[in-house]
Every structure is written in structure tokens, then in C-alpha cells.
Structure 1
Amino acid sequence: MHSFTEENYLKTIYYLSTRQEGEVTTNSLAEMTSTKAASVSDMLRKLSEKSLIHYKKYQGVRLTEEGKRLALKVIRRHRLWEVFLVEKLGFGWDEVHEMAEDLEHIRSEELVERLDAYLDYPQFDPHGDPIPSPAGQMPEVEYRKLSEIPVGQEVQVMGVLEHSTEFLQHLDKTGLNLGCKLNVQDANSFDKSISVQINGEKLLFVSNEVARNLLVSR
């Protein structure tokens, strides 16, 4: 049996490993978990002793196959609970992350599979993130950041990299919701902001911070 903290670390290591090249560093984990580097190192030693990660001090960390399997199970539970909270209980997508952080540690396999069936086997959570399969396979998605899209190209918003309440509420206020179509009208070379037309109607100026946290596809 693994502690909630250990599960959170495995999930975070997996998350960081998908967003950067090379092994995950202690400093990046400390920043992501808002924890002191010394405490992170202590946890990494524990996970290494349980053969859940490959870890050498000053050389970064990566998940073992067992560590990856456990991380994906936690992610699967988290994202299914987010779907349930939004679709069945009526919460907003900006409200559910912390609740799902608690619910993801309920380990009943039967409960998770019944939840999946009750939700009609969703492929994505409310933030556009793919839901791992029961066998622990993460669906592959080919998304790009809005900040990488050239002027004149039309794309559809498919997901977000930033899940904070403030960011999601900002998207709601500006109309940058999942599924909306954007046509990149102009790009500012000074501050990397862009202007987009939403669903062929209103024009919106988007900061680089927002654009690089929006995932889109053609």
C-alpha cells in the first residue's frame, strides 16, 4: 500500500516527464509540489527503495514501469472523478480539481470501473485531458499550443495546460472554451500576444501566457 503523498509524487513525476525532455529534476518537483528540495529528496529516496522510480542524487528521476503503472491509475481516477463532478453534479470545470485530488485516492477498482461505465466510458476529462484506459494506456493526442500557431490558421480549442481556478475562470469570461474555433488574425512580435477571432465572430486579444497554456488542433 502506498501513501497518498507517494501517489501524488508519482503523478507529478509523470506529469513533468510528459512536458520536458530528460529526467525530472528535484527542483522542478519542489516547485510543482510547493515543497522544500530536502523534503523532495527524502520522498524520492523512499520511492526508489520501493522500486517505483529510478533516482540518483543530482541526476534527476524517472518512473519505473511499476511507478508509471501506479501513476496512470491515479490519473485515471482523478480524471474520471472530474467528469462525474462536472457532468453529474453540475460543478464548473474551475471547481473540480481540488475535489478530485481527494477522490483520486479511493482505491476501489470496482468503484472506478463502475464509475467509468456510469459515465459511458469518457475519453477526456472536462479540461480536455485524455483519460488512461483500465489497462493503463494513455491515449495519444496531437495538440499544439495556441502560441505556436501561425497567423491565418484556424484551430479548435481542445485542452488546457493550466488548471488553476483563476485561469479557467479567465477562459470562461473571455469565451475561450473547449470546442470553440479560433482563427489567428495577428501576432505581436514584442510581447508574443496574438489576436484571434472566436467562432467567426468576436475578436479577442490573447496574452502569450494564455496562448501557451491553451492546447489546440486543426
Structure 2
Amino acid sequence: MGRADSLERVPANSAAIDDYLKTIYHHTEWQDDPITPSQLAAELALAPSTVTEMVQKLAAQQLVTHRPYGPVSLTDAGRARAAAIIRRHRLIETWLVREFGYAWDEVHDEAEVLEHAISDRLLEGISARLGHPMHDPHGDAIPDASGAVVREPFVLLAQAQPGHSGRVLRVSDRDPALLRALEGAGIDVGHHVTAAGDGTVRVDGGATVELPAGAASAVWITA
């Protein structure tokens, strides 16, 4: 039996595949370093041995490239599949906020469920109703039907020099409590902030506010 044959094949429509591909895709959206197996295991809260086995299966299906102890990268096929499921997720988040009054800290878990449940026809109907948005409520780019995305040059707020002013492009949706704290401080996608370098920012050219803990590493602004 060949090595590829010895690897239990994951069903092509497996949600587990989507979770891995989405995580790999996310990792390089806002920085350039490819993800390592240990980082992938931490992101997915799985044992390293489990991730190693799955990466081998994904490589056998030509969805990722990987060499022992090296980073994991998406193939063209893997990136196309990741972009398609991310398009679903982010369109659903946008739909829930605009049409159903969800707050931006409430939509992630709902979208995780719905992204696997709705048809392609309904998804494209949602996109058309929303005017084919290019970004979700957190500022993440929504891939178009071909997988293409549009992003402006950006800098992480934690790396911005004091005095740097920019428009908030993206806020990480990882921590709902932080999203609520940032919203309370007036720091939201589309607002302008000026970095002060002392844990504070000036918002929209007006009040200076103290950044909530962890905010500087969760906010991206125009470069």
C-alpha cells in the first residue's frame, strides 16, 4: 500500500477541511509570514499530532503544500476553496448586521453555522441584496465570486509610529469583549485614529481615549 493510500481520505465536503483552509488563509491576510503546524494547532485548539495528520491528508488532496517541520501554504486549489467559504462567512456576517440588527460582536458564531447550510443561490441573492459589499462588519475583505479581494495598504496599530493617523480598516473579531470595548471607545471600522504612542489614540481628530487591553494588536489602520 502506498503512503498516500495509507492516509485515510477526508470527505471532499468535510467541514473540517474548511476549518483548516480558512485558518491558513486568515493567517496571511494581514501579515506575510506563513503559518507553521504548531501555530495551526494553537489556532484550532487541537493536538499537534492531529494537525500533522490532517495536513498530510490535505497535501495528498493537493490543497496545501508542506514539508516536514516547515510552514503550511495553500495551493491554488486550496486558496480558491478557502476564499469561497470565507466569502460565505463574511457575507452572512454582513447580512446579519445589516438586515437583522446583530451587533458586530454577535455574528461570528452564527455565521460559522450558516456558512455550511445555505445554498449558492441564496448566498448570491444575499450578496445582491446587500449591494455586493467588499468588506464585512469587522473590515475583513469579502472575496468576490472569483476569489479576488481588494485591500488598502495597512499597518497594525501596535506598529504605528506616534503621530501616525489613519482610517480604521479592520478590527479582529477574535474577542467579542474587546469588540464591545472598542466600540464603546469610539474605535470602529471607518473612524480615523491618531497613534499617541502611550497607550492612547485620538479618535476622529477629537477626544483622546485610552486603548483597551490588547487593542493595539487587534486594530489595523491605513498606512
Fold conserved between structures, TM > 0.5: yes
**Structure 2: which 5+ residue stretches go unaligned?**
1-11
Paired residue type of 1:203? T
State the Cα deviation string for residues 10-48 of structure 1 (Å, max 9, x = none): 110111233554542110001100111011112112211
Correspondence 1:122-201 to 2 at 5 A? 122-184=133-195, 186-188=196-198, 193=199, 195-201=200-206
Secondary structure of 1:215's match? strand
Secondary structure of 1:88's match? helix
Paired residue type of 2:92? W
Secondary structure of 2:214's match? helix
**Structure 1: which 5+ residue stretches go unaligned?**
none
Label 1:95 to 1:162 Cα distance change in 2 as closer, same or farther (>3 A): closer
Secondary structure of 1:187's match? coil
Distance (Å, rounded) in 2 between the aligned partners of 1:202 and 1:70: 43
Distance (Å, rounded) in 2 between the aligned partners of 1:19 and 1:203: 26
Report the CA distance between 1:183 and its aligned residue: 2.6
Q: TM-score, normalised by structure 1?
A: 0.89
**What is the identity percentage for the equivalent residue pairs of Structure 1 and Structure 2?**
32
Q: TM-score, normalised by structure 2?
A: 0.87
* Equivalent residues of 1:17, 1:62 under 8 A apart: no
**1:65 paired residue among 76, 91, 106:** 76
Distance (Å, rounded) in 2 between the aligned partners of 1:3 and 1:12: 15
Q: How many residues align?
A: 212
Label 1:23 to 1:129 Cα distance change in 2 as closer, same or farther (>3 A): closer
* Equivalent residues of 2:88, 2:123 under 8 A apart: yes
* Equivalent residues of 2:152, 2:222 under 8 A apart: no
